[in-house]
Amino acid sequence: MDIPRIVIAGIKSKVGKTMISIGLMRALTNRGYKVQPFKVGPDFIDPGFHNIATGRKSRNIDSFMMDSYSIIETFERNCKGADIAIIEGKTGLFDSHDAIDERGSTAHIAKILRSPVILVADVERMSRTAAAMIYGYKEFDKYVNIEGVILNRIGNPRHLKRVVLAVEKLSGVRVIGAIPRENIDMPYRHLGLIPAHERQEYEMLFDRLADIVEKNVDVDRIIEISCNAESLEDVKPNPLFIPAEKRVGVAGVIQDKPFSFYYEDNLDALSARGIELKYIDSLNDKKLPEIDFLYIGGGFPEVFVEELEKNDSLRKDIYEFCDDNNPVYAECGGLMYLGESIITDGEYEMVGFLTFKTEMNRKFHALGYTVCEVAKDTFAFDRGDQIKGHEFHYSRVIPSRKLDFAFKVLRGKGINGEFDGVIKKSTLACYQHLNVLSYPKFVFKIASAIKTKNTVF
């Protein structure tokens, strides 16, 4: 496959990589290109910005949770109809799931997809030091094709002249953009950049970022570099996304302001298995629609606790759905919602089906990749299987009664440092976020559970 592509990678976090990636995506979109965005790593927030900037659904690719086939297949499947792919990296270019192994890094994705890389470097108050740093990135892994660098936070024309000369002469990497310090902030919340649907002014902001990129970056050169990317081998379609012949049933998906953290591939895979998706608004809908399975993703329920508490009609309906032994799967924010209450500047009643409260803390309670072993058979997981995922949250679970768990934590914190996946009847709620491409059986088992309703643990 010969889709033009480029990886935008930072030398570390918070160097302006996201703003430059969005600005480039929007600039190309404004030029008439059909841009397919991707995000490296387990991130739910940046893809929302990509969606707005390009008008196409961004996809996550991650080499800790996904194998090379799944990464290439995801890339090729979603690039159909696109003119160019922009892949926004995560953290620093070489940062991975541990100190030595490259899995999970932006660099590893660039190698798997044979994609050229553009580095983003914050060079505020640097000149020759920037050259030394960029030279190190170029030499660290010769199989990572760094084709250029965008220098961010240039102070003045004198600084620009010195740092460009130093970088190009001493590191051998071409400078293809130099962006002055701008008073533009992408507001941060405790889990990262705030979700796109909470800010209506993003369209104007993204056009401004596109204008900055057009004025300060050689966009034509980036297009040229992307077109010179090596060809990718065509891989077979993933069976997860081959449409089923028959309709299986209906899944309710709570996707709204409090609960917005879903991998697009998870939803697509459910649909492909013949499961109709009905979307639910936890703030405004008073009853569940006629559904066979309920899926509650993560998000920021703690920000909307008052509104969630006020919608007691829906909360009661969800309680009854769980109590009737229907299959329910919830992650992180969804786990919090199914508990008795959320404690954050007061205590607010939630669904109350699971016997615990969750309390918000000021510091991260858990952040990073996870590995769990399934300790009990459930409607979605088989005992003995290992599941790779990730967790990031500020809340902690305070049990009211003894909890029953489905997962033993091998890496990460889970609910109590040892276990994750609270189970009660056919409800399963965990802190771990799952990408179906790391555990395809999840979707097939849910389809089977919907068919049979045989979901008693």
Summarize pLDDT for 7-63 with one digit per residue, the tens.
Answer: 999 999 999 999 999 999 999 999 999 999 999 999 998 998 999 999 999 999 999
Which H helix or E strand runs over 349? strand 347-349
The verdict on whether 79 is a catalytic residue reads no
Tell me the torsion sign for CA atoms 210, 214, 215, 216.
positive
Between CA 342 and CA 333 the distance in angstroms is 10
pLDDT tens for residues 349-375? Answer: 999 999 999 999 988 888 999 999 999
Contact 435, 305 (CB under 8 A): no
Contact 226, 251 (CB under 8 A): no
Q: Name the percent of the chain lying above pLDDT 90.
A: 89
In the prediction, which pLDDT does 442 show?
Answer: 98
Tell me the pTM: 0.94
Mean pLDDT of 303-310: 97
Between CA 42 and CA 62 the distance in angstroms is 7
CATH topology for 239-452?
Answer: Rossmann fold (3.40.50)
Domain map (residue ranges) of the chain: 5-227, 239-452
Same fold, 5-227 and 239-452: yes
Mean pLDDT of 61-88: 98
The partner residues of 179 in beta bridges, in order of sequence, read 152
pLDDT tens for residues 200-229? Answer: 678 888 999 999 999 999 999 999 999 999
Which H helix or E strand runs over 39? strand 35-40
Angle between helices 17-30 and 46-54 (to 10 degrees): 20
Mean pLDDT of 134-138: 98
Contact 187, 201 (CB under 8 A): no
Q: Does domain 5-227 have CATH number 3.30.465.10?
A: no
In the prediction, which pLDDT does 363 show?
Answer: 87
Strand 298-299 to 259-261 pairing:
antiparallel
Buried b (16+ CB within 10 A) or exposed e, 435-448: bbbbbeebbebbbb
Catalytic residue among 79, 227, 322, 332: 332
Beta-carbon contacts of 79 under 8 Å, excluding residues fewer than 6 positions away, are: 1, 3, 5, 36, 85
Closest C-alpha to 111, from 144, 149, 146: 144
Between CA 119 and CA 266 the distance in angstroms is 30
In the prediction, which pLDDT does 185 show?
Answer: 67
pLDDT tens for residues 366-406? Answer: 899 999 999 999 999 999 999 999 999 999 999 999 999 99
SS3 102: coil
In the prediction, which pLDDT does 198 show?
Answer: 57
Beta-carbon contacts of 165 under 8 Å, excluding residues fewer than 6 positions away, are: none
